[in-house]
Structure 1
Amino acid sequence: MASSPRPGWQLTSDLDEFHSRAATFLHSVPALHTALLSVTDMLRTRGLHVYGAEDPLFGIRTGGNGVGGASDGEGIGGASGGGGVSGAFLWTPPHLLALSPLADDAAEELAGVLADAGLALPGVGAESATAATFSAAWQRRTHVRAAVSFPQRLYRLGTLTPPEPSPAGSARVATGADRALLARWHGEFHEAIGEKGAMDAGEWADARIAYGGVTLWESPDGTPVAMAGNTRKVAGQVRVAPVFTPAGLRGRGYAGAVTVAVSRAALAAGADEVLLFTDVGNPTSNELYQRLGFRPVRDFTQYSFTR
């Protein structure tokens, strides 16, 4: 990796180098690194420009300590647990900077390194304390305005508890014949949450179909009525995303049924843990996933930066 202008952080545009140096650290606590793990996996399997035309940027921090555990007891592998690595980030322009949980000094250091490099970041997404510290430091360095754009909660599956009664119908894995439907629902999902998708809808559908990464719930007559996506298994974890039911079909139990189906399939395929993110401001989804057996791990926050 190229030397950074500040001690601790090293930056690179070489995905293989980043992966070789950061993998042990990221695998040390996969739940808290789930976004970095899944994005890195997608870049390795679908190409460096799957999220956009610009080259991604990666970084690791060596030395120092990782972030200690919160009330969930979830810690971060620091210098001793990650081969000397105590932090990591990746940036796939034009999307948000994605950070591992960081100690305050590491987050502030990184803001200085990236500001000195002249980068124009659109925002940041990370564990909430890390995101807040980085955003405050970025504001001081660059005089942008930072605002919370999407508060999230990470959940981990405990004991899977199917809804009773389950809606009529059954689950099946989406295939190439479903491509147009998946692309359309991908767009509708992001429109519903008010967030631009990280990938082109067609590319997203192709990537997911390639590894069986979307499960559909069908009514008894074979009509798809909901979908649940899943990331590929990385470091023993699978993340459910997205879960979507078209507006006119909501409130009938389809989202719960398809989430159970995709979670059960992940466990059957050997996943050690099944994760998902929710919108903290959506009580309906948070209550649903807790009824299904998901338990809160930690809160994450996305900030947008504007001039």
Structure 2
Amino acid sequence: MPSDDWYLTDDVEEFLARAGEFLRSRPAPHTVHLTVTENLRMRGARVYGDADPEFGVLAGEDGAGVRAAFLRTPPHPAFLTALTEKEAAVLAARLADEGRAVSGVTADRDTAAAFAGAWRRLTGAEVSLHQRMRLYRLGELTVPHPVPPGRARVAGEADRKLLARWYEEFCAAVGEAAVQDPENWADERVRRGGVMFWQDPDGAPVAMAGTAPKVAGQVRVAGVYTPEHLRGRGYAGAVTVEVSRAALESGAEEVLLFTDLANPTSNGLYQRIGYRPVSDFAVYDFG
């Protein structure tokens, strides 16, 4: 296919057959594509909503290899790998011409801005910057002191209701709609041991941190949450250290996480733990 032509499919296996090697070649910037496709492959096409996912692959020069890729799990924004301004405009035109109801875009800062601008010009949609994010990679894990009283433990069967409630509270706290059904989210985390609690000396959970499945040697920390009345006591830092340590012990070659750049507290915390900036991302909403 020509280098300016996107191949579109709704089949995750076909998408990975075409783009999997490309995504695995740079697991850090492609962490979301890798973990979302793994979830879709293992748990079915409707895990993120009621509509089928959509995928796209852009061939390299002269049709050789893969230059870029995107995925979309409606109604959530499209997630793009890095594109030039021209490539972003070509993709926006293709999706607009086909009448795709794109609700927004998430990508590295420059790619997201280029696609959002092209979408506005092509469709007349209102475009607004929803969030600026930073991707971090763990360097040397450092335990912040003092460590709060208590200990870490993996969330289990008895914690399902609390996990579901905290997932909803976390989404509300960061101003995002829940990507998955809270009960299903909790079930999947319990099944694979994907969430750690920090519990106080009496055994009550006071903070949580989760991880996405390990794919291509990378694990992404996600869902770090402390209820509002328990914040400022070091619980989030303590549980993030332990979930990061567990990821390393599982054999992860890279441990990653995203932060909201509007939150200086979390950005400072993760850097004290040992996380180092990789690149900046942006999320745009389309009216």
TM > 0.5 fold call: yes
Distance in 2 between the 1:7 and 1:223 partners?
55
1:44 aligns with 2:41: yes
One-letter code aligned to 2:260: D
Q: Which residue of 2 aligns with 1:103?
A: 84
Kept after mapping to 2: 8 A contact 1:8/1:63: no
One-letter code aligned to 2:161: A
CA RMSD after TM alignment: 1.5
1:251 aligns with 2:248: no
One-letter code aligned to 2:75: P
One-letter code aligned to 2:211: N
1:113 aligns with 2:113: no
Gaps of 5+ in 2: none
Distance in 2 between the 1:226 and 1:46 partners?
27
1:234-285 Cα offsets, whole Å, 9 max, x none, are 0100000010000010000000000000000000010001000000010000
1:50 is paired with a residue of what secondary structure?
coil
Q: By how many angstroms is 1:64 displaced?
A: 3.6
1:5-53 Cα offsets, whole Å, 9 max, x none, are x942100011110011111000011000011111111111111000111
Q: Which residue of 2 aligns with 1:70?
A: none
Distance in 2 between the 1:126 and 1:208 partners?
26
Kept after mapping to 2: 8 A contact 1:158/1:294: yes
| TM-score relative to the length of structure 2 | 0.97
- Pairing 1:283-302 to 2, within 5 Å after superposition: 283-302=264-283
1:101 is paired with a residue of what secondary structure?
coil
Give the paired residue count: 287
1:215 is paired with a residue of what secondary structure?
strand
| TM-score relative to the length of structure 1 | 0.91
Distance in 2 between the 1:96 and 1:208 partners?
23
Distance in 2 between the 1:99 and 1:207 partners?
26
Q: By how many angstroms is 1:292 displaced?
A: 0.4
Q: Which residue of 2 aligns with 1:90?
A: 71
Q: By how many angstroms is 1:86 displaced?
A: 0.6
Find 2:252's aligned residue among 267, 271, 275.
Answer: 271
Distance in 2 between the 1:35 and 1:171 partners?
26
Kept after mapping to 1: 8 A contact 2:4/2:87: no
- Pairing 1:153-164 to 2, within 5 Å after superposition: 153-164=134-145
